[in-house]
Amino acid sequence: MKTTTLIPLTMALALAGCVNLAPKYARPAAPVAAGYPTVEGTVNSGNPVAADAPVNIAWQRFFADARLQRLIELALANNRDLRVSILNVEQARAAYRIQRADRLPTINAAVTGNRVTTGEDQPINSTYQAGLAVTSFELDFFGRVRNLSQEALAQFLATEEARKTAQISLVSQVATTYLTFLADEELLALTQQTLKTREESLRLTQLRFDNGVSSKLDLQQAVSLVEQARTTLAQAQRQRAQDVNLLTLLIGQPIPADLPQGATLATTNLPDLPAGMPSDLLANRPDIRSAEQQLIGANANIGAARANYFPRITLTGSAGSASTELSGLFKSGTFGWTFAPQAILPIFDYGRVRAGVDTARAGRDIAVAQYEKSIQTAFREVADALAGQATYSEQLRAQQAVAQAEADRFNLSDLRYRNGTASYLDLLDAQRSLFTAQQQAIQANLARLQNQVVLYRVLGGGWSEPANPATAAR
């Protein structure tokens, strides 16, 4: 190709992308307080405090239970929701690459033929060409294509952050469900023991009634207690089965029979976590980073919309062999080229371009509101979990003290009843109160541990790079 032929195209490409009409991006101020609220009157929980920020604590370190670790590994490998999130990232990456390719000319191999006549008695003029062709390449003087590419990149990065959010949530959900399973195991064992005790009490009451020592009222009250325990037992068995079903769904396969030995709820402990500052959430929470990428993309979209006010210049050209006869297309001396620039400037579009800019601005304002809401939501979640960390340990201590007091009361009531100094009604009331207090102690311990899992999640903990991370788009 001659040098004079390349000059117009080279100059045009050099000038492409000289102007960017997108507003300069500035991160909005975080609409939250500078620090988290504190709970008055709380006491030191006595639990160990993690030395690192949650975002720097891998889930393998935070969850020491070997069985739970194995379940989380299976979930990360097989969970279908997480798999969809990963595939969404791949789809967004491909979409970005497609949009990025529009910034460069596409060169194709082309063979064309053209036969025309100017009248019924006029000869037919034929033209045949074979070579390389550039079709409708837009010279991006005003940054339209570049801003569309920036928007696609922001969408890809937002999707990547959404995948991280999905993994963090999955780790938290598996841990929470596993702790619920452990609590239901303890509740099931407690209910079975309570039922056994009440059945023995019913047997003795039946003997006393048969011998005329106890009344019909005492017997029916004992029967009622036994049936209440059987009702609770059925509920506990159902809840335990549902826990297993949920764990099966989360890990994406049947629960293996060769899981390592795990801890009980009573022996499980999770450390207290340092809260840090609310400003740390901007860097530690992938859902906030995803919302910011959405805002960056909406900001770039304004530049693409504004560029429609200005001429859109496209180039079409080809270079190769040309001939008036198909048989002579590839003979020597048949080199030819075409160069067809086009500029289109909207004049009367009935407000279409302006409406496009207004739509882009509204989309940016929506993205700002969503970004600010994500920060406020994160602040509230952390504040709630910190309030739980400050109070659940004391609640558990107090509830365990209640259970111990009720156990002593039951033993004394049983002794007094056997010695004839207390009524059977006092003994039954002590039995009911003890069972309720023991159940509440287990629930309080579960709430404390689950709160620590939630705090770990809302502070950004639980993310770790996969074993073979996909190559990021460049």
Tokens 């207290």 belong to 272
Lowest mean pLDDT among 35-49, 253-267, 273-287: 35-49
Please tell me the predicted confidence (pLDDT) of residue 418: 82
Report CA 434 to chain centroid distance, whole Å.
42
The pTM assigned to this predicted structure is 0.86
In percent, the amount of the chain with pLDDT more than 90 equals: 56
What band does 13 get if pLDDT is binned at 50, 70 and 90? very low
Can you tell me the mean pLDDT for 133-144? 83
**Residue-averaged pLDDT of the chain:** 87
pLDDT of residue 321: 81
Q: Two tokens at 265?
A: 């709820």
- As a whole number, mean pLDDT of residues 425-431 equals 87
Q: Supply the pLDDT for residue 43.
A: 65
pLDDT of 450 above 80: yes
Percentage of residues in the chain with pLDDT exceeding 70?
A: 92
- CATH code for the domain defined by 3-103+140-310+345-458: 1.20.1600.10
| Stretch among 13-17, 227-231, 414-418 having the lowest mean pLDDT | 13-17
Please give the order of strands across the beta sheet that includes 335-344.
107-116, 125-139, 312-323, 335-344
Helices (H), 265-351: 281-284, 286-306
Picking from 431, 395, 35, 64, the residue whose alpha carbon sits closest to that of residue 224 is: 431
pLDDT in tens, 21-60: 899 999 999 999 988 988 876 667 778 888 889 999 999 9
Mean pLDDT over 299-321 rounds to 88
Compute the average pLDDT of residues 403-429. Answer: 88
Per domain, the residue ranges of the chain are: 3-103+140-310+345-458
Residue 470 has pLDDT above 60, yes or no: no
Task: Tell whether the model's pLDDT for residue 196 goes beyond 80.
Answer: yes
Band the pLDDT of 298: cuts 50, 70, 90: very high
Phi, psi of 339, rounded to the nearest 5 degrees:
-145, 115
pLDDT for position 41: 62
Top-confidence residue, 14 or 268: 268
Provide the pLDDT for residue 345. Answer: 84
* pLDDT score of 12 more than 60: no
More confident residue, 244 or 135: 244
CA–CA separation, 397 and 55 (whole Å): 29
pLDDT at position 114 over 90? no
Give the residue-averaged pLDDT of 98-103. Answer: 86
**Averaged over 216-230, what is the pLDDT?**
90
Model pLDDT, residue 7? 44
SS3 readout for 254-287: CCCCCCCCCCCCCCCCCCECCCCCHHHHHHHCHH
In this prediction, residues 345-351 reach a mean pLDDT of 86
For residues 118 and 417, the model is more confident at 417
- Joined together, the tokens standing for residue 27 give 């991160």
Task: Specify the pLDDT at position 6.
Answer: 45
